Amino acid sequence: MQRLRTGVPGFDRLIAGGIPEGFLVAAVGEPGTGKTVFSIHFAWRGIVDGDKVIYVTTEESRESIVNQAKMFGMDFEQAIKRKRMVIIDALLRDKADQWNIVSLTVEELIKKIIEAKKYLGYGRARVVIDSMSAFWLDKPAMARKYSYMVKRMLNKWHMTIVATSQYAITTSFGFGFGIEHVADGIIRFKKVVRNWELKRYVIVEKMRQTPHSLRVHEIEIVDGVGMRVKGPVNVTRDEVTLPKEVVEAVKRGIEKKVQEDMLMELPDQ
């Protein structure tokens, strides 16, 4: 089995070397957790490894993606010029641009991706769809069907796909998970504010045919470099238990409150 490296330092060892060729992997998480940065790494690694890369962007313009990549030293402009990469812009919807999606439908998406593959020519291809949930925003019940369509249609073209999806609690409650069932893999990104600081984490929730890590790992995004995996999270006793003085103070507070309440409840003499 061929595995495609993601290009995020420290990540591939969590999934036995990389994403199996032909897989559809969902990168899910709340806003600002790193889904797009991860996708950019995956795309750039493809360029470096000689793959053809098709990047669909729905919430940011092509220019925004190129600029974000540039901050990490990845030259998408060159890759586009050399016919190694196509960025399909589904945000601006300019009819004059060959690589814009004018109507945000799954049929159009699949059509454009295949057109881009033909343009780029022969060879292994990587596809990023960022984000896939944009295609079912107003009809969340269609999430599963649409994901299945994308997987089935693009499978014939031997494409390996990373598709991002914002976790929508309403979607999972109301309609069941969409892309998560259809996807061969799920990479979940998380963020937490701890000690007044934003921390980011990743966990591989599913990766078919892969002995993957089951641990939450901390990640960081560094200017000029990009994303990297720092290491597994070790929750120490200090982090889950409060310091002794705090526990004592809380106890004293509760006792005082109880005493006060009891006094209040005493019947008038």
Ligand X SMILES: Nc1ncnc2c1ncn2[C@@H]1O[C@H](COP(=O)(O)OP(=O)(O)OP(=O)(O)O)[C@@H](O)[C@H]1O
Q: Indicate the length of the chain as a whole number.
A: 269
Selected range binding Mg ion among 27-35, 166-174, 226-234, 242-250, rule: CB under 5 A: 27-35
Amino acid identity for residue 245 in this structure = E
CA distance 21 to 227: 22
Q: Helices H, strands E: what count in the chain?
A: 9, 11
CA distance 87 to 80: 8
At residue 15, φ and ψ (nearest 5 deg) are -125, 40
Question: Are the beta carbons of 30 and 191 closer than 8 angstroms?
Answer: yes
* Contact status: 182 vs ligand X (CB under 6 A): no
* Contact status: 218 vs ligand X (CB under 6 A): no
Residue the block writes with tokens 């009809």? 139
- Number of residues lying near Mg ion (CB under 5 A): 2
Toward ligand X, which CB reaches closer, 73 or 174? 73
Q: Which does 264 bind (CB under 5 to 8 A by kind): ligand X, Mg ion, none?
A: none
CA distance 112 to 100: 8
Toward ligand X, which CB reaches closer, 17 or 166? 166
* Contact status: 32 vs ligand X (CB under 6 A): yes
List of residues 6+ apart from 162 with CB closer than 8 A: 19, 25, 27, 38, 39, 42, 126, 127, 128, 129
Report the nearest approach of ligand X to the CB of residue 74 (Å).
Answer: 11
* Contact status: 223 vs ligand X (CB under 6 A): yes
Identify whether 64 is preceded by a cis peptide bond (ω within 30 of 0).
Answer: no
Toward ligand X, which CB reaches closer, 91 or 159? 91
Q: Which of 19, 26, 35, 53 binds ligand X (CB under 6 A)?
A: 35
Q: Which of 8, 29, 33, 36 binds Mg ion (CB under 5 A)?
A: 36
* Contact status: 31 vs ligand X (CB under 6 A): yes
Q: Which of 7, 4, 5, 3 is nearest to 227 (CA)?
A: 7
Q: Which of 61, 64, 100, 166 binds ligand X (CB under 6 A)?
A: 166
* Contact status: 137 vs ligand X (CB under 6 A): no
Report the nearest approach of Mg ion to the CB of residue 164 (Å).
Answer: 6
Residue closest to Mg ion, measured at CB: 36
Q: DSSP states of 81-111 as a string?
A: HTTSEEEEESSS--TTSTTB-SS--HHHHHH
* Contact status: 20 vs ligand X (CB under 6 A): no
Residues that bind Mg ion (CB under 5 A): 35-36
Give the residues lining the site for ligand X (CB under 6 A).
29, 31-37, 59, 71, 166, 221-223
